[in-house]
């Protein structure tokens, strides 16, 4: 059975690209554009990995990471943060929130898939 990956990304192009790449590698992908829907969708979809943008409208990706890690059903799900939010200390803050992986945008497909495979 294919591993399931939830992609939380507000940028249409990035979300489509991530899902297309993941599907081409045999993963099942569930896209989420609005971070406010991410927790509910994650509970329904039960992903093996969550790919999380940090700069989302309406809700912070950091807050979502913490919410996932505080949810009894989802807390063991690894999170890969993929973000343009890549200043000094940001990776540390993102990992402290609970993300197991971190990639700065723009992302190349090779390192992206390497990070995904390391976490599923």
Q: Looking at residue 1, what is its pLDDT?
A: 80
Q: What is the pLDDT of residues 70-102, one digit of tens each?
A: 999 999 999 999 988 767 788 999 999 999 999
Alpha-carbon distances of 57 from 9, 26, 53, rounded to whole Å: 10, 30, 10
Say which residue, 57 or 70, is predicted with more confidence. 70
Ranges of each domain in the chain: 4-119
Answer yes or no: is pLDDT of 115 > 80: yes
Mean pLDDT in residue range 30-40: 95
Alpha-carbon distances of 33 from 55, 68, 74, 87, 107, rounded to whole Å: 12, 17, 19, 24, 18
**CATH for 4-119, options being 2.40.50.100, 3.40.50.2300, 3.40.1080.20, 3.40.50.300:** 3.40.50.2300
CA distance 102 to 34: 20
- Could you report how far apart the first and last alpha carbons of the chain are, in Å? 13
CA distance 35 to 59: 6
Answer yes or no: is pLDDT of 57 > 90: no
């Amino acid at each position: 059975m294919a591993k399931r990956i939830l992609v939380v990304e507000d940028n249409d192009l990035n979300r489509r690209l991530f899902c297309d790449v993941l599907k081409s590698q045999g993963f099942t992908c569930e896209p989420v554009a609005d971070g406010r829907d991410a927790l509910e969708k994650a509970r329904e979809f039960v992903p093996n990995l969550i790919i999380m943008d940090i700069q989302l409208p309406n809700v912070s990706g950091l807050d979502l990471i913490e919410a996932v890690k505080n949810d009894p059903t989802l807390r063991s799900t690894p999170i890969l943060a993929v973000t343009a939010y890549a200043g000094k200390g940001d990776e540390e803050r993102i990992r402290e929130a609970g993300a197991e992986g971190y990639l700065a945008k723009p992302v190349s497909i090779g390192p992206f898939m390497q990070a995904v495979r390391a976490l599923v």
